[in-house]
Amino acid sequence: MNCVLELKNLGFVYGKGTPFEKRAVDNVSLTIKRGEFIGVIGHTGSGKSTLMQMLNGLMRPGEGQVLLDGRDIWEQPKKIREVRFKVGMVFQYPEYQLFEETVYRDIAFGAKNKGLEGDALDKAVRDAADFTGLKPALLDKSPFDLSGGEKRRAAIAGVIAMNPEVLVLDEPTAGLDPMGREVLLSQITRYHKECHNTVLLVSHSMEDIARVADRIIVMNKGKLAMFEPTKEVFRRGDELSRYGLKVPQITNIMQALRRRGFDVPEGVLTVDEAFDALLPLLQKEGKLW
Amino acid sequence: MSFISIQDVFFSYDEVEEGKPVRNAVDGVSLDIERGEFVAVIGHNGCGKSTLAKQLNAMLLPDSGKVIVDGDDTSVEEKTFDIREKVGLVLQNPDNQLVASIVEEDVAFGPENLGVAPDEIRRRVDEALKAVDMYEYRTHAPFKLSGGQKQRIAIAGILAIRPQCIVLDEPTAMLDPSGREEVISTLLRLNREQQMTVVLITHFMDEAVLADRVVVMDSGRIVTQGTPETVFSQVELLKRHRLDVPQSAELAYKLRGCGLKIDKIPLTQEDCVAMLEEAMR
């Protein structure tokens, strides 16, 4: 199996040995295959951010190992910087991290530090801008003249330009309007499809996760509560609500119909799927044109 | 007269410079909010809804037009503090709104500044914390609470000022599903049990559905308004304004497009299941 990331008995404790000691991540083991689109969900304080920050060596695990392409990322602590080019991290509200004079230079910053230059750097910047839907005309502007949505795209483009093997996005759609969410999500999906890179998407929006993820990591109180295909996770609605999470409204509606004896499929995740499932049933009843 | 009356308000952040067209963030809005009403305001990023919210308690003043709160004009400087006692504002990020290192001290900050007597402060703080269901956390440190809990502390801080109206600008944008539910059910309870006037600005359509009235904004103007039923039946109009409808409404709308007879677009899960059950029996 071609796995890109492997976590072995990973653990992390904040403030160890102090009265504020708190175990944030507790014995997490899992394997992520190359090219997978992984959703990460969990309530606030469930440990998902700590887990994500251990993936690129921003935090050093107290226990266990993170293997990237089969090698422990802390094998040579001095080379940890290389890991950060391979596992690109987009934090929450990344628009506050822009700092360069132009959008172009801001996007180029990471790729340049990685060692790209000349035409290769130019191509990386322009491709990343294209993936995130930033118009070329914006590249010469100051990042501070962009709208909030554009700033966020620019920040994401800066990470994509490094062409990371694994792209980690922490709540990339928080605070965006419905259309903004939709567009950004479809751009991330397109990036994933065309680059075949692995994507981890952390989100509080079950609807978003349901639409894009192949498999879902569910964190609860620092432990890995589930790591299953998307349909399987959202089939276990009762369990999710115990973890302070939810199931998309449409999944609940179809589940309720199933319980009432209607022949609709299990694990419907999107409105389109529900529509396709209901159409023949309604046709049979002669309720449609 | 309405509790809050917004009368033909224009507002722009641009400095008026020669030769530069001025873009109005609020571009001629008139809106009346009644006492005890729960109003949701929706609209895409940059549509002017946050700017409008800040007009409601004199954080911003109109360039032209008037905002009257409980009979007082917000542009009259002597009335600013009266108005802010009546209309409290809660913002998106709870971390930017908490000032003290102990929950109850944070909630006491508002009434302390108003010069309320100490025993009255005690009473108000306890009451406010109970209203948001955070009384048992009164001696905790805010930074160790979850997002939903912090946001409820921020709301309690406003309640302790004893306002008649709370305006919330995307209070759930940074919260997880259960945190969102905590905040929204707190608002509903305040509205229904204490007749608090609530103005909720949100990007979540399933929250807007719970309001008495939904106001849709775009380019600084009100595009449409009405009960959630009337607003969310206009699926195409909403999509044109970069908005969305709850999944139940979207499904019903698509099925109606194929000829299914639907009297009322369902806004909640339960209504949608009932409607589909009816159609397939």
Q: In which band, very low, low, confident or very high, does the pLDDT at B17 lie, cut at 50, 70 and 90?
A: low
Which of A177, A252, A278 has its CB closest to that of B243? A177
State residue A161 phi and psi, 5-degree precision. -60, -25
Query: Cβ–Cβ of B251/A178 closer than 8 Å?
Result: no
Query: Are A192 and A283 part of one and the same domain?
Result: no
Among the ranges given (A20-24, A190-194, B206-210), the one the predictor scored with the smallest mean pLDDT: A20-24
- What are the residues facing A3 on neighbouring strands? A33
Q: What is the mean pLDDT of residues A48-73?
A: 94
User: Which residues of chain B lie closer than 8 angstroms to A180, CB-CB?
Assistant: 44-45, 242
CB B137 within 8 A of CB B149: yes
Q: Are residues A168 and A196 in the same domain?
A: yes
Q: Are residues A128 and A148 in the same domain?
A: yes
Burial of A3 (0-12, 13-18, 19+ CB in 10 A): middle
Tens digits of residue pLDDT in B120-140 = 999 999 999 998 989 999 999
pLDDT digits (tens, 9 = 90+) for B46-60: 899 999 999 999 999
Quick one: pLDDT at residue A236? Answer: 92
The answer on A155 and A67 residing in a single domain is yes
Q: What's the one-letter identity of residue B248?
A: S
Mean pLDDT of chain A: 93
How high is the pLDDT of residue B144?
82
Q: Note whether A31 and A68 are same-domain residues.
A: yes
% of residues, chain B, pLDDT over 70: 98
Q: Write down the pLDDT at residue B145.
A: 85
Interchain pair B247, A176: CB under 8 A: no
A275 to chain B: closest CA residue? B251
**What are the tens digits of pLDDT across the range B163-214?**
999 999 999 988 888 888 989 999 999 999 999 999 999 999 999 999 999 9
Predicted local distance difference test score (pLDDT) of residue B146:
81
How many angstroms separate the CA atoms of B89 and B17, rounded? 31
Q: Name the residue among A182, A244, A252 with its Cβ closest to that of B176.
A: A244
Q: Do both A118 and A233 map to the same domain?
A: yes
Is the confidence at residue A1, as pLDDT, over 70? no
Q: Do A149 and B45 touch (CB under 8 A)?
A: yes
ipTM of this model?
A: 0.82
Residue A282 domain boundaries: 248-289
Q: Which helix (H) or strand (E) holds B88?
A: strand B87-90
- Contact at 8 Å (CB) between B7 and B30? yes
Count of structural domains within chain A: 2
Q: Are the Cβ atoms of A288 and B45 closer than 8 angstroms? A: no
**Please, which pLDDT band fits residue B16 given cuts at 50, 70 and 90?**
low
Tell me the Ramachandran region of residue B70: left when phi exceeds 0, alpha when psi lies from -120 to 50, beta otherwise: left
pLDDT of res. B245 = 93
For range B231-246, the mean pLDDT:
93
Mean pLDDT (chain B, rounded): 92
Q: Does B203 contact A260 at a Cβ distance shorter than 8 Å? A: no
Strand partners, A68: A5, A71
Best of B231, B243, B256, B276 to mutate (most A CBs within 10 Å, chain A): B276
Residue A136 has pLDDT above 60, yes or no: yes
Least confident of A5-9, A94-98, A250-254, A269-273: A94-98
Q: Which comes out higher in pLDDT, residue B97 or B21?
A: B97
B147 with A282: Cβ contact below 8 A? no
Domain boundaries, chain B: 4-228
Could you write out the DSSP letters of every residue in B155-211? HHHHHTT--SEEEEESTTTT--HHHHHHHHHHHHHHHHHH--EEEEE-S-HHHHTTS
- Please say whether the beta carbons of B244 and A179 come within 8 A: yes
| Residues A19 and A78 both lie in one domain | yes
What is the model's pLDDT at position A289?
72
Structure-block tokens of residue A37: 């689109």
Please indicate if any CB of chain B lies within 8 Å of the CB of A44.
Answer: yes
**Mean pLDDT value across residues B40-48:** 92
pLDDT in tens, B191-201: 999 999 999 99
User: Rounded mean pLDDT of A158-162?
Assistant: 96
Beta strand pairing call for B38-42 and B197-201 = parallel
Quick one: A155 and A212 in the same domain?
yes
Q: Is the distance from CB of A48 to CB of A202 less than 8 angstroms?
A: yes
Q: What residue in B sits closest to A204 (Cα-Cα)?
A: B176
pLDDT of residue B26: 94
Q: Are residues A97 and A129 in the same domain?
A: yes
What superfamily does domain B4-228 belong to in CATH?
A: P-loop containing nucleotide triphosphate hydrolases (3.40.50.300)
Phi-psi domain of B71 (left: phi exceeds 0; alpha: psi -120 through 50; beta: other) = left
From the CA of B55, how many Å to the nearest CA of chain A?
A: 21
Residues whose CB falls within 8 Å of the CB of residue A234, separated by 6 or more in sequence, listed in order: A206, A210, A240, A247, A248, A251, A267, A269
- How far is A122 from B78, CA to CA, in rounded Å? 57
How confident is residue A147, by pLDDT bands cut at 50, 70 and 90?
Answer: confident
Of A174, A252, A262, the CB nearest to B173: A174
Task: Determine the pLDDT at residue B20.
Answer: 61
- C-beta atoms surrounding A35 within 10 Å: 16
Strand partners, B69: B4, B72
CB contact (8 A) between residue B177 and residue A207: no
Q: Which helix (H) or strand (E) holds B274?
A: helix B269-280
Residues A11 and A132 occupy one common structural domain: yes
Q: Is A252 on the interface with B (CB under 8 A)?
A: yes
The answer on pLDDT for A7 being more than 80 is yes
Pairing type for strands B72-73 and B38-42 reads unpaired
Comparing alpha-carbon positions, the chain A residue that sits nearest to B242 is A179
Q: Give the pLDDT confidence score for residue B1 in this predicted structure.
A: 82
Size of interface A-B (CB pairs under 8 A): 123
Q: How far is B224 from chain A (nearest CA, A)?
A: 17
Contacts of A123 (CB under 8 A, 6+ apart): none
**Pair A74, A118 in one domain:** yes
CATH of the domain at A224: 3.40.50.300
Q: pLDDT at position A2, please?
A: 87
Residue A171 has pLDDT above 70, yes or no: yes
Per residue in A71-111, pLDDT (tens digit) is 999 999 999 999 999 999 998 888 888 999 999 999 999 99
Using alpha carbons, list the distances in angstroms from residue B13 to B2, B5, B61, B62: 28, 22, 11, 11
Distance CA A27, CA B205 (A): 38
Is the predicted pLDDT of residue A28 greater than 90, yes or no? yes
Q: What is the pLDDT of residue B54?
A: 94
pLDDT number for residue B21:
64
